[in-house]
Structure 1
Amino acid sequence: MPIQVRYATESLAPTLASINIDSFAGQGFITNAFSNVADDAIFELKRKRYLQKLAHPRTHVLAAIDEDSGEVVGCARWIFPGKEVGSQLSSEEAAAEAGAELALPEGTNRGIYDGFFEVLKEKGEKYSRADDIVLEFLATRPDQQGRGVGKALLRWGMDHADKQQRRIYIEATTQGFPLYAKMGWKALEEAEIDYARWGGNGKQVLTLMARDPLPC
């Protein structure tokens, strides 16, 4: 299954939203923060979030395409320091989306939502550097895992990081950790998120990791 990695466009926002939800449905954040939110409302939030990401001038939103079927089988978001890639939306929609503060759907547990990102912000301020490339998100469609989709998306960012001689910072899930470790990332610290702290259930561990560039 040959994989082509290319920039996503606004027409793919619904597909990327579905991959996002399907890939992380069983993990603590979505289960806790959106336990009382209708599925279609979660989808609409994710779809609008992707339009925002596409409009962001330093975010590279990528889609992994199965060249045999033409289907989108994975996606990633890379943030480059000071590197503007330009909006991939129409001018009117880009202007609206880039400056919009998305309203969370009714039923969202705001304590869990804010608390989760506050933990990541605190850890990011401790470990990430201003000149890092940040892998903000990576997901493979569940039925396509084990076929090299994640590796292809990672290779895109790693090649750019090596050319620019920049470190890559990530917050890895337990599921993603083995792949990142295999491809050169080193663990910095584990961040345990206890959802009971904000009225939820269970815990989740994210591993803060970094990959140094290979010499040119």
Structure 2
Amino acid sequence: MQRSTHTTQYTVLSIPHRIPFQRRSLQGLAVERQRETLLNPHVTWIKITDPATKGIVAAAKWFIWPPSTSPSPSPAQLEAGSPGAQAGQAKRWPDRVDATWVLPEEKGLTSGAGSDDQYISWVMEQSPKRRRERIQGPAVLLDTCFCAPSHQRRGAGKQLLEWGCKKADELGVTAFVGSSFAGRRLYESCGFVVAEDVKLEPGKVKAEWKAYGEIEYKFMFREKRTAKGVAS
């Protein structure tokens, strides 16, 4: 559903390696992400289960910032000691994302993109950069959405999406999502429109990165509405 976005945000799991990454790096990253999710009051996971097996067949991770939420303080505000920063307001997005999950003793073990920390850091930074620029103040963001292959095209993704759209309407806020080309129709069916056709061209940053290929996805948004679905 979101392969291009997944590639952008989780590059280490998508790029080819001649030998596997050591499992403890990935396990440590997974544990860290889950801990951050549990501690973040703005994160909500929803799931769809199979009544027969009770297993999870689809799930989505939503960020929800209600109208009482203020924009994250900028670096200048933090430096100047603005009221929001002085009150301990948490920053919504990190200043930068990099390949810090690669343990020091693992560097150099892989060949190709897996050993190119600069490339990985550059790709990983692209999505948060757009989020920092575009998603401030009250908003809803679909961060992750997945569905088991055996249950695709059966409405699970639509249910997960409608849940978030309903929440956005209840709060009267704008919703955002990064979409693959395949997922665009689903999002458009719920009122999302394309704000930017994102095309990452690593070869224009460094010539040796050209072999990694281009990454394309859609940055989409859905205008804020009332609970009755009327755009405000």
Identify the residue that residue 50 of structure 2 maps to in structure 1: 66
Q: How many residues align?
A: 177
Q: Does 1:124 align with 2:131?
A: yes
Give the aligned partner of residue 104 of structure 1: 102
- Identify if the C-alpha distance between structure 1 residues 37 and 212 changes in structure 2 by more than 3 Å, giving closer, same or farther: farther
Quote the offset at 1:104 in angstroms.
3.2
> Helix, strand or coil for the counterpart of 1:80?
strand
Q: Whole-Å Cα distance in 2 between the matches of residues 51 and 160 of structure 1?
A: 24
Any unmatched runs of 5+ in structure 1? 1-19, 85-100
Match of 2:225 in 1: 214
1:31 is matched with: 14
Q: Given the superposition, is the C-alpha separation of residues 110 and 179 from structure 1 closer, same or farther in structure 2, using an over 3 Å criterion? A: same
- In the TM superposition, what whole-angstrom CA distance separates every residue of 1:63-110 from its partner, at most 9, and x where no partner exists? 2212232111111111111689xxxxxxxxxxxxxxxx9733645442
The answer (yes or no) to whether the contact 2:46–2:60 under 8 Å persists in 1 is yes
TM-score (norm 1): 0.68
- What amino acid maps onto 1:65 in structure 2? T
User: 2:49 is paired with a residue of what secondary structure?
Assistant: strand
TM norm structure 2: 0.64
Larger radius of gyration: 2
CA distance in 2, matches of 1:64, 1:43: 25
Q: What is the root-mean-square deviation in Å for CA atoms of aligned residues?
A: 3.1
Return closer, same or farther for 1:147/1:180 CA change in 2, 3 Å cut-off: same
The structure-2 alpha-carbon separation of the partners of 1:136 and 1:71, relative to structure 1 and needing over 3 Å to count, comes to same
- Counting aligned pairs with the same residue, the percent is 17
* CA 1:125–1:68: 2 relative to 1, 3 Å: same
Aligned to 1:160: 167
Q: 1:71 to 1:188 in 2, by over 3 A?
A: same
Which one of 209, 215, 230 corresponds to residue 204 of structure 1? Answer: 215
The verdict on how the C-alpha distance between 1:27 and 1:116 changes in structure 2, with shifts beyond 3 A counting, is: closer
The alpha-carbon distance between structure 1 residues 147 and 189, as it changes in their structure 2 partners (threshold 3 A), is same
Separation (CA, whole Å) in 2 of partners of 1:184 and 1:73: 25
Offset at residue 31 of structure 1 (A) = 2.8
Deviation of 1:151 after TM superposition, in Å, equals: 0.9
Conserved 8 A contact 2:45-2:62:
yes
Aligned 1:40-51 pairs, distance under 5 A:
41=23, 44-45=27-28, 47-48=30-31, 49-51=33-35
Does 2:25 align with 1:52? Answer: no
CA distance in 2, matches of 1:135, 1:117: 17
Deviates more, 1:112-121 or 1:102-111: 102-111
Counterpart contact for 1:54–1:60, Cα < 8 Å: no
Tell me the amino acid that sits aligned with residue 17 of structure 2.
S
Contact 2:61 2:142 in 1 (8 A): yes
Match of 2:186 among 157, 179, 198: 179
* Counterparts of 2:36 and 2:213, CA distance in 1: 30
1:77 and 2:48 are equivalent in the alignment: no
Note if contact 1:166-1:212 (Cα within 8 Å) is conserved in structure 2: yes
In structure 2, stretches of 5+ residues that fail to align are 70-98, 228-232
The change in CA–CA distance for 1:37 and 1:45 in structure 2 (over 3 A counts) is: farther
